[in-house]
Amino acid sequence: MKVAEAAHRVDYYGSNLIDQQLAIKLPRIRFGFLLTKGKQEFYQSFSRELEFAVGTRDDVRGSTVVRFSPSQSPADVAEAMLALGEQTDVIACTAVNHHAVGEATLELRQKGKPTFALLTDFAQGTREHYIGLDNLKAGRIAAWMISLAAQTPGKIALFLGSNRWQGHELRETGFRSNLREADRDLTLLESVINLETRQLTYETTLALLERHDDLAGICVAGGGMEGAISALREARAPGEVALVVNELTSISRKALSDRYATMVISTPLAELCRETVELMVRAVRNGPAQAPGRRFLEPQIFLPPSV
């Protein structure tokens, strides 16, 4: 590598040939990534950042395969994981926490294909590292913001994608805990499963607003925030209902600037992707970790004045 750098510094005419020779000697790693909701802006950005993180590595010849699971069904996710493992050397996934996914992770491990968990944990004891936010902490942050921003005592609604997403369960736990500690006259309604779809979130939010005149706050722990934002735009004035959502997109950014969203808790995607690819390279080079752990990233917090 030092020879190549020196050749480029002096503008040596054969520097490109040196680069080619060095590239041939680099180990080849095929990186596989399984994400969900391929049409959503967040996951499109996620896919691009993963490809960029692989492409900027100068110590391996990396190729990237990104796939999107056809559904959140554990069977579909497990099947997609195994298929991706056939094409790659190491994979990282966003997946539900279910025994079918755990079995697929174990099968991949036995074939020498390490599996990493992204954003939400699964298959602990079988997967390699988890990389993402501390979801318990994210839930506490959301509850703290809503308890602070709620203009009047009243009801609070919490949307979860599914009980199978461990990250959502942890956010719910953190949310409930912090809301109790807030010691304000706020009542948390029964959590709503929205399957991370905007239409179901939209319809349910409108129904909640009609049923509870005192609805003071909403937290969308996973996907589907677009539906909650649309419903509030139709039925309430800006800031009348405190709203905390997940991930900064063009829609959540606009909601912040219009004061319909109170806070966005976002994943630092570039950092997450760099960390993930680094850990994947280590796993391929050195084998499975002796003690797979969790790599918690600090959330990015966005408020109306910051956008």
- Can you tell me the mean pLDDT for 230-241? 97
Start and end residues for every CATH 3.40.50.2300 domain found in the chain:
2-133+268-295, 135-266
User: What are the residues whose beta carbons fall under 8 Å from the beta carbon of 158, sequence distance 6 or more?
Assistant: 172, 175, 188, 189, 191, 192, 218, 219, 221
| pLDDT (tens digit per residue) in 151-209 | 899 999 999 999 899 999 999 999 999 999 988 899 999 999 999 999 999 999 999 99
| pLDDT (tens digit per residue) in 259-307 | 999 999 999 999 999 999 999 999 999 998 888 899 999 999 999 999 8
CA distance 50 to 276: 9
Whether the Cβ atoms of residue 32 and residue 92 lie closer than 8 Å to each other? yes
Whole-model pTM: value is 0.90
Mean pLDDT of the chain: 93
The single-letter DSSP state of residue 258 is T
CA distance 271 to 269: 5
Q: How far is the CA of 6 from the CAs of 13, 24, 163, 210, in angstroms? A: 12, 19, 56, 70
The secondary structure of 216-233 as a DSSP string is EEEEE-SS-HHHHHHHHH
Question: Which class does domain 2-133+268-295 fall in?
Answer: alpha beta
Please report which confidence band the pLDDT of residue 3 belongs to, taking 50, 70 and 90 as the band edges: very low
Q: Is the pLDDT of residue 132 over 90?
A: yes
- Can you tell me the mean pLDDT for 107-128? 97
Q: Is the pLDDT of residue 19 over 80?
A: no
User: pLDDT: is 170 or 24 the higher one?
Assistant: 170
Q: Is the pLDDT of residue 120 over 90?
A: yes
Neighbours of 63 (CB within 10 A): 16
pLDDT score of 170? 98
Identity of the residue numbered 223: G
Q: Is the pLDDT of residue 7 over 90?
A: no
pLDDT score of 184? 86
**If you search the block for the tokens 């994608």, which residue do you land on?**
161
64, two tokens: 């990237």
Among 3.40.50.2300, 3.30.360.10, 1.20.1440.230, 3.40.309.10, name the CATH number for the domain at 135-266: 3.40.50.2300
CA distance 271 to 46: 11
